[in-house]
Chain A
Amino acid sequence: MEELTYIVKRILQMIPVLLIITFIIFFGMRLIPGDPALLLVGNRASDEVIAATRARLGLDEPLFTQYLLFLKQCLTFDFGESMTLRAPVTELFAQKAVITVSLTLMTIVFAILISFPLGYAAGVKHDSKIGSFIDSLSLTFVSVPEFLVGLVIMLIFALRLKWFPVGGWGDTLGERLHALILPAFTGALGTAALVLRNIRGNVIQVLDKDYVDFAYSKGLSPWKIRTRYIFKNVLISTVTLLAMRMTYMLAGSIVIESVFALPGIGQMMLNAILARDYSIVQATVYLFSIIVLLMNLLTDIAYSLLDPRVKLN
């Protein structure tokens, strides 16, 4: 019951947050120099044509009226048509989100698969050569730009070995999953490095604690010690990190999407911002904030599930 009240309270708290976000994104976009009508019709258009375009886009209405319209759209989830692409924004978002969400999920899975075992091993063996090797390797992952990693990986595994397509997004589920492997792996390296180092650091810290020595002396099996002490301590910060990386990637990693020719949210947003397509930018930021807020709520709930010492309040 307490949990339920908490969740309801958190969801109610989202309303003012979302309101502030709509306000900032709406007026923020209009503060940025650059007139969408002008960008839409090109350099050669006369002033009359530009004015007509502004009217067609509804940009000649008073700002406050436009803002109210946006708020109404936020409530109904019907954001009208994109200024530049002329397709319904909601549909465009859904279409692109499929790619970005799939990519993000696969990236997270890869990151977990890489970082958990390696991070644990590096922590337990931190005094040995293996430990330092894994640690250095992970740091190399974070210190090379994603586009470089992506291009080199693609050069080797797609162009030379022909195991994967050179970017793109296939037609069938199988093709699509196949096409996502390289980009997800590229994205996972950086995330895995962060998580790995976090796990390793926490494992070392826990191993240094007196209670672990005490547990050993009490004759508890190493497996029990691991599950009981180490994982619990490591999980909270790991979940936080993973959730943060996930939000970061859901925003659309334009670098990865661009290198691997994946037409996801990132590419759409970049083009929309450059073309000052208010309708896409506003709607995407709004829908994205809802996802972020829900994810934050889930992370907080996860804390208390993972560690009963954390109370929801």
Chain B
Amino acid sequence: MRDILKKQPPIFWAAVIFLLLVLAMALAPGLFTSYDPIAQDMKSLLQKPSSAHWFGTDNLGRDIFARVVYGARLDLAIGFFAMLVPAVFGTVVGLTAGYYGKSIDAVIMRILDIFTAFPLMVLVIAIVAILGSGIRNLFIAIWLVGWREYAKLVRSEVLVAKSSEYISAARTLGYSNARIMFRHILPNVVNSAFIYAISDIMLCMLMGASLSFLGLGVPTPTPEWGAIISEGKSFLTTSWWIAAFPGLMLALTGISISLVGEGISKRLQKNG
């Protein structure tokens, strides 16, 4: 652990501090603002950023800073869990399909085809119409479609990796399939999935915005960055701050996660 943190550039530490800040917002939002993120104030509609409202207010008079702070919890949860479950599942599926090949691969890939063939929108609207909207169903929607990318990426890499001499050597040594898959192939193929996962955190958080567009967003008035950006869409030319600040937080969080992830993985590779 200490090795990992050694000799990291200052930008790495800046990213870590920012992420800790966001984490703190998620855990104890009350420390950052005294405003209630859902309280409406008819006397201060659409106010510019000021000392009273750092990020301004929206057309229901809600404090944008408070909404951004309170939104951190949900966004971190969405970014992390919505990414993690499909990432792990998809990686295992891709690994299995690529390693065993033949009919196992064929069956898995055809199931994947079925999932790919349904446009996301059809799936999402079906889920909303049948189950209604809500955070639980938001996860269901993302999980249902999120694993495909990992499975395909990992499988494509496994196809290459398994032909290497190293793997055939492991086979002749009589290692178990599971051991070869997870000990020998996985480390070689996980890179693409890892890189994708970092961007995927952002894509998952942004799903909030796209899904609000389709009506499967987080239930109002719960603050969530993507949903706040969607709400700010009608005010882009008049009250830019509604969409700009959550957008900035989203971008900074994304960049920080990537910098930290990168720093750690680089060190791990050097050590390993």
Residues in A lying within 8 Å of B, measured CB to CB: 13, 16-17, 20-21, 24-25, 28, 31-34, 132, 135-136, 139-140, 142-148, 151-152, 155, 193-194, 197-198, 200-202, 205, 208, 233, 236-237, 239-241, 244, 247-248, 251-252, 254-255, 266, 269-270, 273-274, 281, 284-285, 288-289, 292-293, 296, 303, 307, 309-311, 313
Per the bound structure, the CA–CA distance linking A202 and B269 in Å amounts to: 13
B 169-196 binary contact with A (CB < 8 Å = 1; else 0):
0000000000000000000000110111
The 10 closest A-B pairs by CB, nearest first: A289-B117, A251-B119, A143-B254, A201-B195, A309-B163, A143-B251, A237-B192, A32-B129, A145-B209, A310-B159
Q: Is the CB of A244 within 8 A of B149?
A: yes
Q: Which residues of B contact A198 (CB under 8 A)?
A: 192, 195-196
Kindly state the separation between the CA atoms of A20 and B106 in the bound complex, as whole angstroms. Answer: 15
Given A205-B191, A208-B269, A273-B125, check contact A136 B255 (CB 8 Å). yes
* Contact residue among A21, A145, A248, A288 (Cβ-Cβ distance under 8 Å from B229): A145
A190 nearest CB across to chain B (Å):
8
Taking the closest CB of chain A, its distance from the CB of B190, in whole angstroms, is 11
- In the complex formed, the residue of A with least CB distance to B236 is A151
Tell whether, in the assembled complex, residue A17 and residue B110 are in contact, meaning their CB atoms are under 8 Å apart.
yes
Interface centre among A33, A233, A251, A284 (most CB of B within 10 A): A251
Q: A139-B251, A255-B213, A285-B118 are known contacts; what are 15 more A-B pairs with Cβ within 8 Å?
A: A24-B114, A32-B126, A139-B199, A145-B206, A147-B233, A155-B236, A240-B152, A241-B153, A251-B121, A254-B213, A254-B214, A273-B121, A273-B125, A284-B119, A296-B109
CA distance A188 to B229 in the complex (A): 21
A197 contacts which chain B residues (CB < 8 A)? 195-196, 198-199
B39 at the binding interface (Cβ < 8 Å): no
**CB-CB < 8 A to A33: which residues of B?**
129-130
Residues of chain A with a CB closer than 8 A to B243's CB: 148
- What's the Cα separation between A145 and B101 when bound, in Å? 38
CA distance A303 to B122 in the complex (A): 30
> Out of B117, B118, B129, B148, which one reaches A244, CB within 8 Å?
B148
Q: From residue B101, how far is it (CB to closest CB) to chain A in Å? A: 6
The answer to the question of B5 belonging to the interface, with a C-beta cut-off of 8 Å to chain A, is no
Asked if B203 lies at the interface with its beta carbon under 8 angstroms from chain A, I say yes
- Interchain CB contact under 8 A, B126 and A236: no
Alpha-carbon distance A251/B123, docked complex (angstroms)? 12
The answer to whether A193 and B157 touch across the interface, beta carbons within 8 angstroms, is no
In the complex, are the beta carbons of A143 and B122 less than 8 A apart?
A: no
Question: Interface code B248-265, partner A: CB below 8 Å = 1, 0 otherwise?
Answer: 001101110011001000
- Bound together, the chains give a CA A239 to CA B155 distance in angstroms of 13
**In the complex, chain A residues whose CB is within 8 Å of the CB of B11:** 132
Residues 195-252 (chain B) with a chain A CB within 8 angstroms: 195-196, 198-199, 202-203, 205-206, 209-210, 213-214, 226, 229-230, 233, 236-237, 243, 247, 250-251
A237–B251 Cα gap in the complex (Å)? 25
B8 beta carbon closer than 8 Å to chain A? no
A292 to B112, CA, bound (A): 11
Q: Is the CB of A194 within 8 A of B199?
A: yes
Q: Is the CB of A251 within 8 A of B192?
A: no
Find chain A residues with CB under 8 A from B119 CB.
251-252, 269, 284-285, 288
Of A247, A266, A292, most buried by chain B (CB within 10 Å of CB) is A292
Contact, CB under 8 Å: A13 / B156: no
Residue of B113, B125, B203 near A296 (CB, 8 A) is B113
Residues of A within 8 A of B226 (CB): 145
B7 close to chain A: CB less than 8 A: no
5 A-B residue pairings within 8 Å (CB atoms): A24-B118, A142-B206, A247-B116, A303-B156, A309-B164
- In the complex, what residues of A have CB within 8 A of residue B125's CB? 32, 273-274
Taken together as a complex, chains A and B put the C-alpha atoms of A219 and B199 apart, in Å, by: 37
User: With an 8 A cutoff between CB atoms, is B102 at the interface?
Assistant: yes
A162, B44: Cα distance in complex, Å: 37
Contact present for A144 and B195 (CB under 8 Å): no
CB distance from B115 to the nearest CB of A (A): 10
Residues from 120 to 158 in B contacting A, C-beta threshold 8 Å? 120-122, 125-126, 129-130, 148-149, 152-153, 156-157
The CA-CA distance from A310 to B196 in the complex, in Å, is 22
Residues of A within 8 A of B88 (CB): none
From A132, A266, A310, contact of B163 by CB (8 A): A310
The smallest beta-carbon distance between B16 and chain A, in angstroms, is: 15
Chain A residue with minimal CB distance to B145?
A: A248
A-chain residues with CB within 8 Å of residue B159 when the two chains form the complex: 236, 303, 309-310
Cα distance A130–B79 in the bound complex, in angstroms:
28
B257–chain A nearest beta-carbon distance, Å: 9
* Min distance, Cβ B256 to any Cβ of chain A, angstroms: 9
